[in-house]
Amino acid sequence: MLKRIVVKIGSSSLTGSQGGLNHDAIAYFARELAELYKQGCQPLLVTSGAVAAGFSAIGYAQRPKKLHEKQASAAVGQALLMRAYQEALAEYGHVAAQILLTRTDFHSRKRIGSAVMTIEELLERGILPIFNENDTVSVDELKFGDNDTLSALVANLVKADRLVILTDMDGLYSADPRQDPQAVKYTVIDEIDDDIYRMAGGAGSSVGTGGMRSKLDAARIATRGGVPVFVGRAKEAGDLQAAAEGGGKGTHFTTTLSSMSVKKQWLGYLSRPFGALIVDAGAQRALTENGRSLLPVGITSVEGQFHAGDVVEVRGPHGDIVGRGVVNYDMEDLQRVCGLPGPRVLETLNGLHRLEAIHRDEWISLR
């Protein structure tokens, strides 16, 4: 089977400071992607840059801030961006396909399943899928962000062999190397813990224009799905291939987990929770350490409005998110039996089909 490599490129790598496309940069990335094909890979590209590419063409003096202006810029910029990719890739005999997604597409298992079938057909035909958020219709509260999250979700969906997130820095440092000459670079990270997050800082405040923190979020999603991640820089010939092979100028995030099923991906990262179940410490251990189902006896309170078959969050006794699952009770029924042992639940709710509030097969831990 061909090695699948998902590559994410940000706006700053593709556009100029005053907007518009940097065609030299696009030519470079097309050349690097063509080299991946030569090495027997199936590359997939997640690209930003539509708004930045379109705002000057549409007549704005600077990058717009209002939603409708950004959407208009994206409508123009998407066409410019795809034409540039098509022309650059054609130099090497490759064809690209555009796939525009929104977060709501991922809320539906049917829609995302259809997307996976389309992607597989394109890859079978030797076409390069190019993903971007559909900025023309997305609203801020439903956006992925800066496409780092989108790249991780795509990598998990296609069961990629590696996710390569390109940024303007050559990896993660213990501090900002532009301000601290003693900063230490990390070439390999086996676990993304709180200490790693503290080094990353906030969005746009540490290393990287999109913020290293968002890239750590993406790396955490991808590695939980069994996909190793590279975060770093590609500026010279061969850099992208080196990153795809485990080298390159950046930081590698390893994983020992196997690939995650589409169902588990949807449940953990793509679905929209309709409420929350607060559990006691014993129920939390049963879910996260013992692989058990969640029973009403371990639930201390219920939040939100949901029905049987909806996705809900599960939170621990201190409010931290434990995971997500498909609930088997309507909210009103579950409120009536919180904290009750099994026999009392059956007495209270006549005709109950299953005792579990969340069955372990419909659960994913997010700790």
Query: Which domains can be identified in the chain, with CATH numbers?
Result: 3-261 (3.40.1160.10), 273-365 (2.30.130.10)
Instruction: List phi, psi (to 5°) of 10.
Output: -90, 170
126 labelled as ligand-binding?
no
Three-state secondary structure call for residue 33: helix
217 labelled as ligand-binding?
no
Beta strands in 64-161 (DSSP E): 96-101, 128-133
Spatial contact of 265 and 157, defined as CB atoms under 8 Å apart: yes
Distance CA 355, CA 357 (A): 6
Share of the chain above pLDDT 90, in %: 61
Instruction: List phi, psi (to 5°) of 172.
Output: -95, 135
186-235 pLDDT per residue, tens: 999 999 988 888 887 644 433 233 478 889 989 999 998 899 999 999 99
Terminal Cα-to-Cα distance of the chain (whole angstroms)? 32
Spatial contact of 87 and 29, defined as CB atoms under 8 Å apart: no
Q: Tell me, what's the pLDDT at 307? A: 95
pLDDT at 154 over 60: yes
Spatial contact of 233 and 28, defined as CB atoms under 8 Å apart: no
Q: How far, in Å, are 183, 207, 214 from residue 174 at the CA level? A: 5, 10, 16
Distance CA 186, CA 231 (A): 11
135 labelled as ligand-binding?
yes
Residue 261: count other Cβ atoms within 10 Å of its Cβ: 13
User: Which residues, 6 or more positions from 172, have their beta carbon under 8 angstroms from its beta carbon?
Assistant: 185, 186, 189, 196, 199, 200, 207, 212, 216, 231, 251
- Residue 244, both tokens: 């795809």
209 labelled as ligand-binding?
yes
Question: What element of type H or E holds 307?
Answer: none
Question: What element of type H or E holds 164?
Answer: strand 162-166
226 labelled as ligand-binding?
no
CA-nearest of 242, 135, 254 to 186 is 254
Q: Tell me, what's the pLDDT at 200? A: 75
333 labelled as ligand-binding?
no
Q: Tell me, what's the pLDDT at 300? A: 97
Q: Please report, as a single letter, which amino acid is at residue 276.
A: A
212 labelled as ligand-binding?
yes
- Residue 225, both tokens: 């799905």
244-260 pLDDT per residue, tens: 999 999 999 999 887 77
Q: Tell me, what's the pLDDT at 166? A: 95
Cα 21 to its chain centre, rounded Å, is 25
Distance CA 356, CA 124 (A): 42
Q: What is the mean predicted confidence (pLDDT) over 7-19?
A: 84
Residue 128: count other Cβ atoms within 10 Å of its Cβ: 23
8 labelled as ligand-binding?
yes
132 labelled as ligand-binding?
no
Residue 83: count other Cβ atoms within 10 Å of its Cβ: 11
Q: What is the mean predicted confidence (pLDDT) over 137-143?
A: 56
65 labelled as ligand-binding?
no
Q: Tell me, what's the pLDDT at 18? A: 73
Beta bridge partners of 319: none
215 labelled as ligand-binding?
yes
Q: What is the mean predicted confidence (pLDDT) over 116-134?
A: 94
Three-state secondary structure call for residue 64: coil
